[in-house]
Structure 1
Amino acid sequence: MTKLLTSLLVSGLLLAGSAAVHAEDAAPGMPEHGARMMDPAKRDAMMAKHMQALHDKLKIQPNQEAAWQTFAASMKPEKMEKPPMSDKATAPQRMEDMMQRQQAHMQQRLDALKAFYAQLTPEQQKIMDQMHGPRGKEPRHKKGAPPANG
C-alpha cells in the first residue's frame, strides 16, 4: 500500500511541476509559451534553401530566370516597419489599414506568381502545383502508408 501511495504522490508532484512550467505567462510583447519567433537569419537561410530547391526541381531555364527572380523576390517576408498612422486613428481604422497593406503585399505576390507560372512549361506547372498543394506543402504521407490519392 505504501508503494502505491508513494508512486501516486511522486506522479502527482511531477504532474503539478510540469503544469506549473507550462503555465508561465509570457512577458508583454513576447510570443506565448510554445509560439517562439524564429531567428530572422535562420528563417532567411531556410527560405533561401527552399527557394533553391524549388529552382532546381523546376529546372529553371535561362529564358525563365527573370520571372523566377521577380517571383523569388516577392516571396520574401514583408519588412516589419512601423506603419504611418495617425495617433487619432481608432482600433478598427488601424486594423483596416493593416489589412489593406497586407492585401497589397499579397496582391504583389500573386501577380509575380501568375507571371512566373505563365513562363513555366506544362511539366514545370505540374511540379509547382504539387509543391504548393493543400496547406502550402508537398504531398506527404505517414511512414509506411501509401500516399493519399487526390
Structure 2
Amino acid sequence: MRWIALSFCLVVAAAGAARAAEAVSPELIRLHDDLKLSDSQDIAWRDYTTAIAPDPQQVARHRATSELLPLVPTPRRIALIEATMSQDAIDFRRQSAAVTAFYGKLTPAQQRVFDQDTLPQGSDRP
C-alpha cells in the first residue's frame, strides 16, 4: 500500500513539474536569455518568475466571480466585484514588489534590456 501511495505522489509531482515547465512562456525564456544573468542574479530570477507566475487561486476566484455575477442581485454583484478587485490589488502589490526587487539586482544595461523586453505588446518600441 505504501508503494502505491509513493508511486501516486511521484506521478503527481512529475505532472506538476511538467505543468510548471510548460508554464514558462517564450517571452520569459527570451527575457532570461537577453538579460545574460550572472549566477547570483539567476537566483533572483527564480524568485521573480515564481512571484509573477499565474496564481491558480486568482484564476479560480475570477472564474467563480464570473459564474456568480449573473445569479446575484446588483448590490451583491458590486460587493463581489469589489472583493475580487481588492484581492487583485493585493496580488498586484506582491508581484510589483517582486519585479522591483529583481530589477534592483540588474545592472543598468540589463535594466534597459528588461525595460525593452517587457513593454506591453503593441506599445511603440523606441
With structure 2 as the length reference, what TM-score do the two structures score? 0.63
Residue aligning to 1:102: 88
Would you say the 8 A contact 1:74–1:112 is kept in 2? yes
Which 5+ residue runs of structure 1 have no aligned equivalent? 1-40, 141-147
Tell me how far apart the structure 1 counterparts of residues 50 and 27 of structure 2 sit (CA, whole Å). Answer: 13
Residue in structure 1 matching 2:121, options 115, 137, 145: 137
3-state DSSP of counterpart to 1:81: helix
Tell me how far apart the structure 1 counterparts of residues 122 and 45 of structure 2 sit (CA, whole Å). Answer: 19
Residue aligning to 1:116: 102
RMSD between aligned residues: 3.2
Tell me how far apart the structure 1 counterparts of residues 34 and 27 of structure 2 sit (CA, whole Å). Answer: 10
Q: Percent identity?
A: 24
- The answer as to 2:112 corresponding to 1:126 is yes
Would you say the 8 A contact 1:74–1:109 is kept in 2? yes
Which 5+ residue runs of structure 2 have no aligned equivalent? 1-17, 66-71
Structure richer in helix, relative to its length: 2
The aligned length equals 97
Q: For residue 53 of structure 1, report the CA deviation from its aligned partner.
A: 1.4
Runs of 4+ aligned structure 1 residues displaced above 6 Å come to none
